[in-house]
Chains A and B, each alone.
Chain A
Amino acid sequence: MLTNLLLLIGITLMYSTPLVFGALGGVISERSGVTNIGIEGMMVIGAIAGAATSYFTNNPWIAFLVAGLSGGLVALLHAVASVSFAADQTVSGVAINLLAPGIALFVCRRLFDGAAMTPIVAKLPKIFGESAFAGTAYAGLNLNITTVLALVATLAVWFVLYKTKWGLRVRAVGEHPAAADTLGINVYKTRYICVILSGVFAGFGGASMTIAIISQFTQTAISGHGFIALAAVIFGKWTPQGAYGACLLFGCTQALTILLGGGSFPVPSTILAMLPYAMTIIVLILFVGRSAAPKADGVPYIKGSR
């Protein structure tokens, strides 16, 4: 029982990590007033960039950073479209989500002799070293370093959003950009920074799947995690701490999928695999209407209009 419980906690934390990074990206972007449904695509890019870099440099830390930068680069596209050109943010996000898997596969095939997945690559370390507690009930608690980083990032985002002047400005820009503008706050610059940061976090999210949980890029490494992360943003009422909690919930359903799929439970694993997604839908139905999105979320700011 204890073993199972610890295992459940360990897997929950492990699988919630990519979601947490993705959700933090969503929170940052949306609090500044830019809807970013391209988180999924940015995570895919982070996933391939991380795995490929780790393969070639054999240094997963550099790979992790490169993954973040790649995500940020893709996010820059979204920022140009939705902030500078006031394009429809949903369309721009969808375009990124369609584009990213294509780019990822293309890059993968070019670099790895036409293979649709990378070879096994170097992983980021676990907090107690690779083989600590191996074989004991506590093995599940030897967490990935990314899990700790995700928690630290959540605290950092919370601190910046609520305790610093930059956070106050970001929130003002997301609620009432015209008000911020009249007080001399550069709405466009703020949104650019936030959107790019959201891509960086999404990139970290993708990498924490391919160079921490599994150790290669496959086409299904990121499959809907970005969307689940966005659901967590909504469920968490656009706050970093709320989103973190929501990600744990989704991570937990994923852990249940794995534990129950272990054999003794008389439900086909394909049905169990639906759990996280079904949970997402249920949560969205129950909570989406009642949560409070930033007022200017998804609305391009055009100077002079109110």
Chain B
Amino acid sequence: MDVSPEYAVQMHDITKVFGSFTALDAVNLDVKKQTVHAILGENGAGKSTLMNILYGLYHADEGDIYLNGEKVSIGGPNDAISYGIGMVHQHFMLVENFTVTENIILGDEVCSAAGVLDMKKAREDVLRIVEEFGFEVDPDAKIEDITVGMQQRVEILKALYRGADILILDEPSAVLTPQEIEKLVEIMHDLVSKGKTIIIITHKLKEIMSSADECSIIRRGQYMGTVDVSQTSEAELASKMVGRNVNLTVEKTRAEPEGVMLEIKDLTVTDERGIEQVKGLNLEVRSGEIVGIAGIDGNGQKELVDAIMSLCKADAGTIKVGGQEIQNTSPRNVLDHSLVTIPSDRQKWGLVLPFSVAENSVLERHGEELFGPGIMLDYDKIRSHTSKLIKRYDIRPSGCEDERMSGLSGGNQQKAIIARQVSYVPDVLIAFQPTRGLDVGAIEFVHKTLIAQRDRGAAILLISFELDEVMDVSDTIAVIYHGQIVGSFEQGSVTEDELGLLMAGGGAA
């Protein structure tokens, strides 16, 4: 495409190589002024790398960047900022114990004399842009006290404060409630109408359909083309992104639940800071059903799962598996009651990354006679067990038994955990954020596996911050808010808006 001042950003033939891995191979991006342009791709496809190059965090090995038709060279974030590029990272770059104002001015401070901060003027400056763009943000609030949606607005303000005309948003909706996403889309359109250009990086199709004008697709470092969003469909985008047809709807039959397998009564859990996170929670999961818990991060989900796993103390209440109380025992005892968990952070809790795939796949079962007599480990048996899992769950690269777990991609690491946990043939399966950071293809696999386990007769508790996931996969949808279940619905009997309101605490009535 020709270089023209009609385009806010043009990146042509960008190539970036990390060691022997080509992250980007002659990728093109042409973003028209005053539009919302989406960059779609699976995890690891190279979309963040491309944006990090635009923001100056990486340097392209080949290729040119043009802003408003002029060739530029971006040596670092400082250059990018001076060219009017602002970036909102997926993991917010905010100092938690600073105020909103302090975070916004950091690095570009307002000073009265020789380095002495003029916080009064800084606050006025911040208030002025807050009002100009109609954001509802308190400049004196500390970051740790405001909601995630608000934190995101602070990130956008940071860019606007620096005079950004081009805003890059990296996975902006990953942590937001449906209402907050709507608000964000509104903000994006408003910014565009005020002359800004927005680039969003995402793998969420729905978000692209609702917010973007154009969409460029990257698959494994290759540029797959740019489409006009109004002329396309979710299914078309998905197949372009993955390179095959993907089933976006979760297919399953009606649940045929039996007796109650997991029963939680009046559970109260206090976190390490002494704050009550789970407050008298009641929940039942029957064999052969999936109960999904929808809720925003930080409403007691982590403490609930930790208490079920006996990783933390339950201050009050009971947790029963198959009628037997298991609270305040040990993780071993919980496992012995045939309750297993797919943890939320696979690298922190689920796997030992420097261990081999084979060692990882017997992590919790290494004591069984099956894998060696007495205190010994029989590596041949472990390996052949792992081979079966690798084949059955299509963990790639095939034949990776002896490779380090850290060498596998996120999706394959997750497959390895799920394969291991399912190989238990558990009565209860807790899946906490099982598709976190996975792409469409891997998500499809995880959902199919959960449903297959349900059909086998397992009781499944799915806890996710992705409302779509809870709504698509669960037979029963429960909403958690401030450590309590504030609503419970059969699948199909509740709308996204109703759930969103409950998740935000609006369901007291």
Are A163 and B117 in contact, CB atoms less than 8 angstroms apart? yes
Tell me if A172 counts as interface (CB < 8 A to partner B). yes
Are B94 and A168 in contact, CB atoms less than 8 angstroms apart? no
Interfacial residues of chain B within 75-109, with CB under 8 A of chain A in the complex: 76-78, 81, 87, 89, 91, 93-98, 102-103, 105-109
Are B107 and A180 in contact, CB atoms less than 8 angstroms apart? yes
Are B96 and A295 in contact, CB atoms less than 8 angstroms apart? yes
Which chain B residues border A306 with CB–CB below 8 Å? Answer: 91
Complex CA distance for A50 and B55, rounded to whole angstroms:
49
Measured as residues with beta carbon below 8 angstroms from the partner, the interface class of chain A is 20 to 34
Are B116 and A164 in contact, CB atoms less than 8 angstroms apart? yes
Binary per-residue interface labels of chain A (242-280) against chain B in the complex, 1 for a CB within 8 Å, 0 otherwise:
000000000000000000000000000000000000000
A168-B106, A185-B107 are known contacts. Are A175 and B115 too (CB-CB below 8 A)?
no
Complex CA distance for A304 and B56, rounded to whole angstroms:
12
**CB < 8 Å neighbour of A165 from B55, B91, B95, B117:** B117
Tell me if B57 counts as interface (CB < 8 A to partner A). yes
Tell me if A176 counts as interface (CB < 8 A to partner B). yes
Are A184 and B96 in contact, CB atoms less than 8 angstroms apart? no
A164-B115, A184-B77, A184-B81 are known contacts. Are A178 and B107 too (CB-CB below 8 A)?
no
Which chain B residues border A169 with CB–CB below 8 Å? Answer: 106-107
Tell me if B111 counts as interface (CB < 8 A to partner A). yes
Are A185 and B106 in contact, CB atoms less than 8 angstroms apart? yes
Which chain B residues border A163 with CB–CB below 8 Å? Answer: 116-117
**CB < 8 Å neighbour of A176 from B77, B94, B109, B117:** B94
Are B77 and A182 in contact, CB atoms less than 8 angstroms apart? yes
B192 vs chain A, min Cβ distance (A): 23
A165-B117, A183-B106 are known contacts. Are A172 and B111 too (CB-CB below 8 A)?
no
Interface size on B, residues (CB 8 A): 27
A198 vs chain B, min Cβ distance (A): 20
Complex CA distance for A178 and B55, rounded to whole angstroms:
14
Complex CA distance for A66 and B369, rounded to whole angstroms:
68
Which chain A residues border B116 with CB–CB below 8 Å? Answer: 163-165
Complex CA distance for A237 and B97, rounded to whole angstroms:
14
Are A182 and B93 in contact, CB atoms less than 8 angstroms apart? yes
Are B117 and A172 in contact, CB atoms less than 8 angstroms apart? no
A158 vs chain B, min Cβ distance (A): 13
Which chain A residues border B57 with CB–CB below 8 Å? Answer: 182, 304
B115 vs chain A, min Cβ distance (A): 5
Which chain B residues border A168 with CB–CB below 8 Å? Answer: 98, 102, 105-106, 109, 117
Tell me if A286 counts as interface (CB < 8 A to partner B). no
Are A176 and B95 in contact, CB atoms less than 8 angstroms apart? yes
Interfacial residues of chain A within 142-197, with CB under 8 A of chain B in the complex: 163-166, 168-169, 171-172, 175-176, 178-185
Which chain B residues border A183 with CB–CB below 8 Å? Answer: 77, 81, 93, 106-108, 158
Complex CA distance for A40 and B351, rounded to whole angstroms:
40
Which chain A residues border B115 with CB–CB below 8 Å? Answer: 164-166
A164-B116, A164-B117, A295-B96 are known contacts. Are A184 and B111 too (CB-CB below 8 A)?
no
Are A172 and B106 in contact, CB atoms less than 8 angstroms apart? yes
Complex CA distance for A167 and B102, rounded to whole angstroms:
11
B11 vs chain A, min Cβ distance (A): 20
Are A175 and B91 in contact, CB atoms less than 8 angstroms apart? no
A177 vs chain B, min Cβ distance (A): 10
Complex CA distance for A248 and B158, rounded to whole angstroms:
41
Which chain A residues border B93 with CB–CB below 8 Å? Answer: 176, 178-179, 182-183
Which chain A residues border B78 with CB–CB below 8 Å? Answer: 184
Which chain A residues border B111 with CB–CB below 8 Å? Answer: 164-165
Which chain A residues border B95 with CB–CB below 8 Å? Answer: 171-172, 175-176, 179
Looking at B55, B94, B115, which has the most chain A CB atoms within 10 Å of its CB? B115
Which chain A residues border B97 with CB–CB below 8 Å? Answer: 175, 292
Complex CA distance for A304 and B158, rounded to whole angstroms:
20
Which chain B residues border A175 with CB–CB below 8 Å? Answer: 95-98
Which chain A residues border B117 with CB–CB below 8 Å? Answer: 163-165, 168
Complex CA distance for A138 and B93, rounded to whole angstroms:
55
A162 vs chain B, min Cβ distance (A): 9
Which chain B residues border A179 with CB–CB below 8 Å? Answer: 93-95, 103, 106
**CB < 8 Å neighbour of B76 from A172, A180, A184:** A184
Binary per-residue interface labels of chain B (190-220) against chain A in the complex, 1 for a CB within 8 Å, 0 otherwise:
0000000000000000000000000000000
Complex CA distance for A179 and B77, rounded to whole angstroms:
11
A173 vs chain B, min Cβ distance (A): 9
B330 vs chain A, min Cβ distance (A): 24
A151 vs chain B, min Cβ distance (A): 21
Pairs across A and B, CB under 8 Å, 13 listed:
A164-B115, A165-B115, A168-B102, A171-B98, A175-B95, A176-B95, A179-B106, A180-B106, A182-B87, A182-B89, A182-B93, A185-B107, A306-B91
Closest 9 CB pairs of A and B: A183-B107, A179-B93, A165-B109, A184-B78, A164-B115, A175-B95, A176-B95, A182-B93, A172-B95
